[in-house]
Chain A
Amino acid sequence: MGEEINATVYVVDDDEAILDSLQLLLKTAGFQACTYDGPEKFLSDYEPTRPGCLILDIQMPGMTGLELQEILADVGSILPIIFITGHADIPIAVQAMKDGAFEFLQKPFNDTVLLDYVTKALSLNERQQKEITATQAVIARIEKLSPREKQVFERVAQGKSGKVIASELNLSPRTIEIYRSHVMLKMQANSAVELANLMNLTR
C-alpha cells in the first residue's frame, strides 16, 4: 500500500512549541508529519491529491482555523480536520463540527486520544480517496459509452426491463439486448444490480 506510506499528518498552529511537540509525538508514534505556523503557508504547499489529515489550531493571527476549513471545503478537499483549541469555546466547536470537522480536541490533549483520531482520520481519508478513485473510474467508463448506450445504461440501472426500454426508446427488444451487452462490457459489470451500484457511485 504505497499510498498509506505517503499519508502525511499536516499540523497548522501559530505556536512554535505546539508544532514542535506535536511533530515529535507524531514522529515517535510512527507518523509522517509536516508542520506549518500559519494557514497561508499550509495553503501554498497544499496538494489536494496527497493523502493525509490535518491537525488545525483555531485561534491564529491572520486567518483562523475555521476560515481555512471553509477554503478547503470550497476547493473540494476531503482532508479530515482535527481541530485543536486552547479553550473550549462551545459555539466555535459546534460550528466546526457542523462544517464537517472530523474531531475537536482541547489543549492540552491526551496523546492516545489524539493519535487514535489521527489513525482514524487517515483511514477515513484513505477510504474516501479510494471511493473517489473508484467513482472517477466509473465516470470515465460512462463517458466512453455512446449516447444510445448511455440511455440504455441509465434505464437498466433503474431496473427497467428490456421491453419497457425498447418501447421508451422506440427500438426493438433485440437491439436493446445488443446495447445492454455492450454497456455491461464497457462498464465492467455482470448484472443489472452492479450497474445500479455503479450509477449510485456517481451521484
Chain B
Amino acid sequence: MNASKKNLAEVEALKRKVKREKSARHQAEQILELKSTELYHTNQKLKHALAELDERAIAKEKQLVGELRANQDTTRTLLDSAQEGIFGANSNGRLFSFNRAAEEMFGYDGSDVIGADVSILLASPYKEQSDESLRSFLQSGDGSFLQESRELIAQRADGSHFPIELWVVNTVSVDGTIFFILIRDLSSQKAAEKAIFEKEVEVQQARDHLAHIARVATLGEIAAGIAHEVNQPLAAITTYAQSGHRLLDANVREKDDIAYVLQQIERQASRASEVISRLRSSIKYGEATRERTSINTIIVDTLNLIGVEADRKKVEIDYRPGDDIAAIDVDSVQIQQVLINLIVNAMQALEAANVPHPHVILITEPRAHQQIYVCVRDNGPPIRKETMDQLFTPFFSTKEHGLGIGLSLCRTLIAAHGGNLNINRNRHEGNEFFFTLPTINAAIKTPTKTESSNG
C-alpha cells in the first residue's frame, strides 16, 4: 500500500514538472517567434537596400564595359589600319594583341597567338637573344631594347624567315607595364639592297676583268724588253754550263773553277726567276686588294719592269721622288698599271715622233688635304687641244692598233682609289699627265714617316 501511494506522488510530481516545462517552452517559442519576425523585417530591409545598390552597380558596370568596348574597337581599327605589324605583350612577354598587318606578315590568325610568348615570332638566334634582352628589360626597366629600332629575323607560322625592323613602345596600364611591338617587313628592301650589292659586285668584277685585259695588253707592249731581261741570265747560264763541261773535259784539278761555275749558274737562275715573279705579280688576275705601301716602292718596281724597254727605245727616264711622301693604301698592281700605261704612252709617242733626246720625267710631291701628286712628263710633241677632250673617252685612240681603253681605264682605277687623273692643259712644251691619291689619314701618318726615313 505504501508503494502505490509513493508511486502516485511521483506521478503527480512529474505532471507538475511537465506542465512547468511546457509553459517555459511556450514562452521561449513566443520570444523566438518575435525575434524571428524582427529579423525577417530587418532582413527584408537589408535586401531592398542591397538590391538597390546592385542595380546601380550593374548600370555603372554596363556603362563602363560599353565605354571600354568602344575604346577597344577604336584601338583595334587603328591598329588594323596600320601598315606596320603591331602586337601587344604583357610584362611576361605574353601576346594579348595582334593586328591585321601582323597577321598577314606572320601568317598567324590573331586568336592563334594571343597568350603565346613573343619569342615564337622570332627566328634563332634572335628568339633567344630577344628573350633575354626583353626579360632583362622587364626586370630592370631599362636596356637597349627600347632605345632604337633594330633589325632582326622573324619567323612566320610556316617556319620561313624574313628580315624585319622592330621598335618597342612601352606603356603602363592597370595590369602593369605592357609593350607594343611595331614591325616592318624588310624583305623587299633587303632584296633590293642585295640586288644593288650584286650589281656592284658584277660591275667591280667587270672592271677587274677589263683592268686585267688592259694590263696584259700593256705588258705586251713592253714584252720584248721583259723577254730580253729573262734571256740575259739564261744566256749566261748556258755559257757557264758549257764552260763547266769544258773544264770537266779538260780534267781540271781545281775544284774552285767548277764551284765558281755552279755558283754563277745558281745566281743567274734566281735572277731570271725574279724577273718572272715580278712579271707574274704584275699580270696577276684577281680582285683589287688594298695594302699599305709607298708610291716610291710602286714606282721603283714599275721602272724595273719598264727599264729595258726604255733602253730599247732610247728613252731616258728620270725619277724625282719628293720628300716626305706619306704612305698610301692602294692596290699596287693597279697603280703600277696606271704608271706603265702613262710611261709606255709617252715612250711610244716619243719614238713615233723621233724626238731628239727623248725623256720621261716622273715626279712625286706631297699635296694639301692628305694627297700625293704623281706626274709623268715627256718632251714629245704636245697633244692637240681637240684630242685632249677625247683622251679619256673609252675606245678613243690615236694609235693605229690602240684599244682606246688605256687612259679611260687608268682614270677609273685612280678614281676607285679616291684620286683623280688628268692631263695638264697648260703646258707649252711636251705633255704632262698627273694623278693624285689620298694618303692614309694623319693619325697613322707618323709611324710611316719614320719608316720611310729608314728606307
Contacts and interface: CB of A to CB of B under 8 A. Distances in A.
Contacts of B271: 17
A61 interface: yes
Interface in B241-274: 242-243, 246-247, 250, 260-261, 264, 267-268, 271
Most buried by B among A28, A59, A87: A28
B228 A59 contact: yes
Contact of A15 (B236, B240, B246): B236
A109 B271 CA distance: 19
B243 A24 contact: yes
B231 A28 contact: no
B240 A108 contact: no
Contact of B243 (A28, A61, A86, A108): A28
B242 A86 contact: no
**Main secondary structure on chain B at its contact with chain A?**
helix
B247 A108 contact: no
A28 B240 contact: no
Given A17-B264, A17-B271, A28 B236 contact: no
Contacts, number: 70
Contact of B232 (A15, A22, A29, A111): A15
Nearest to A24: B243
B144 interface: no
Contact of A86 (B228, B264, B268): B228
Contacts of B250: 28
A21 interface: yes
B236 to A, nearest CB: 4
B224 interface: yes
Contacts of A154: none
Given A17-B271, A20-B264, A25 B234 contact: no
A41 interface: no
A186 interface: no
B330 to A, nearest CB: 31
A18 interface: yes
Interface in B104-119: none
Contacts of B28: none
B311 interface: yes
Contacts of A110: 242
Contacts of A87: 224, 227-228, 231
Contacts of A15: 232, 236
Given A28-B247, A28-B250, A18 B232 contact: yes
A25 B242 contact: yes
A107 interface: yes
A198 B224 CA distance: 52
Contacts of A17: 232-233, 236, 264, 267-268, 271
B268 to A, nearest CB: 5
A86 B236 contact: no
Contacts of A24: 239-240, 243, 260-261
Nearest to B245: A111
Contact-size category for B: 20 to 34
Nearest to A19: B236
Nearest to B308: A59
Contacts of A60: 311
Contact of A21 (B224, B227, B231, B264): B264
A25 B242 CA distance: 7
Contact of A25 (B227, B232, B243, B267): B243
Nearest to A22: B239
Nearest to A20: B264
Contact of B246 (A18, A25, A61, A86): A25
Contacts of B264: 17, 20-21
A111 B246 contact: yes
A29 B235 CA distance: 18
A108 B238 contact: yes
A18 B242 contact: no
Identify the interface centre among B236, B240, B250: most chain A CB within 10 Å of its CB. Answer: B236
Contacts of B238: 108-109, 111
Given A107-B232, A107-B235, A28 B224 contact: no
Interface of B: 224, 227-228, 231-240, 242-243, 246-247, 250, 260-261, 264, 267-268, 271, 311-312
Interface of A: 15, 17-18, 20-22, 24-25, 28-29, 59-61, 86-87, 107-111
8 contacts: A17-B232, A17-B264, A17-B267, A18-B236, A20-B264, A107-B231, A108-B231, A108-B238
